[in-house]
Amino acid sequence: MTNRATDTKNDGTGYDVLNRLIEGWENEIVAAVQQSIRIPSVAGPPLPDAPNGTEVKEALLQSLALAESMGFRTTNLDHWVGFAEYGQGLEMVAVLGHLDVVPAGDGWTVPPFTGTVIDGRLYGRGAVDDKGPILGALYALKALKESGLPLKRRIRVIFGTDEETGCNDMVRYKLSEALPTAGFTPDGQYPAINAEKGILTFRIRCNLGDQGTAWLQSAQGGNATNTVPDQAYLHYLDEDGMLQRLSCKGKTAHSSLPHLGQNALAMLVDEAQELKLEHEFKKAIGFIREKIGFEINGKSLGIQFEDEASGVLTCNLAMLSYEAPWLSWTVDIRYPVTMDSEGLIETLQGQIQAAGYTMELLTHRKPLYIPLESPVLQKLGKAYSGQTQRPFKPIGIGGGTYAKSLPNIVAFGPVFPDEPELCHLPDEYISIKDLIKNIEIMAAALWELAQ
């Protein structure tokens, strides 16, 4: 470590040292994020040496190689998760991000996996969620290393690989690694997120019986539990035994913000009512239409709820699949932080079982709430306000972030209050200006947390 900045006081002048370094690396930073975006790291079939698929593994190895080129210590935990580390000390602070992405989906006007730059915007799946921010955190750590600013704690930049499909990477991390004393994940919004709704995903399984199996040939809708489905279809036999197709096209959005999308599955359920339906299929369609359909607040399921800290419950009909004789619907619910989760599950089970169907619980991530007066929020607030001259007032959200995966972690960035939320949407991008500002904020935040 150099000593040129070790006498710099923590009064804002240290931020200037970090900012000058980061701004000088703009072209290098953009190129690094582009290189990562070009790897379509959507979860794939698990292999012995690639638990989340070969392309996710490639993205992890690429990021660790970049960290090594910067002179950081690196560790790869069975290709589940890796990290770069800098500094000394018994205690450790961390930035937690992920390299896996959701499928591109339709509606793009630029290629989703090329990292195209247009008018100062870096486009691509993962640009904002979460490759741009987590690679940016690596450059924030590089700035701290090059600046020589004093640190009392070790710092880790943790590269996850399974945030979009279950967070089993963090299960692996906790088996062998130290937990952070404090830290953040750039997987949410600024100023910070101190309240995250609980996330419950479950499957409703409907047995169509022999007649339904003969009538329905195939059905599919949606490709991820955490998105509003933009396409859905079913193939069926008409009265003359001819194969017919009913398909619907909607608009995708994040499951936590279903009002921003147009649910193709809800459209399919609605339009299917006009068909001459086989009895068991008609019953299943009717149940889904009555209890969910276009409704996004859970009222007809008996689970409508809201609180001051985190807002209203949301319900998203996310996926449809068919494997004879089972027609299966996957539902994503984001429930407020003060809601009784056991009561919520009991109510859902009662509604579904009363209709003669089965409920299969898929995932349950309980709510997260961190008081404003907590030390980690106080330090993040100092960094954020110092770098942006904006007030620091944490918010509550419905989207789940990586903050729930490790203790003492808060969602912090990357989306600014006046910027659109592009997570999981077509033409996902981050402006280069915002990317650099994110890195400056993260560098300041890491310095504050490592004191």
100 a catalytic residue: yes
49 a catalytic residue: no
Catalytic residue among 100, 129, 280, 448: 100
Catalytic residue among 55, 85, 129, 163: 163
Residue 140, Ramachandran bin (φ over 0: left; ψ between -120 and 50: alpha; else beta) = alpha
Catalytic residues: 100, 163
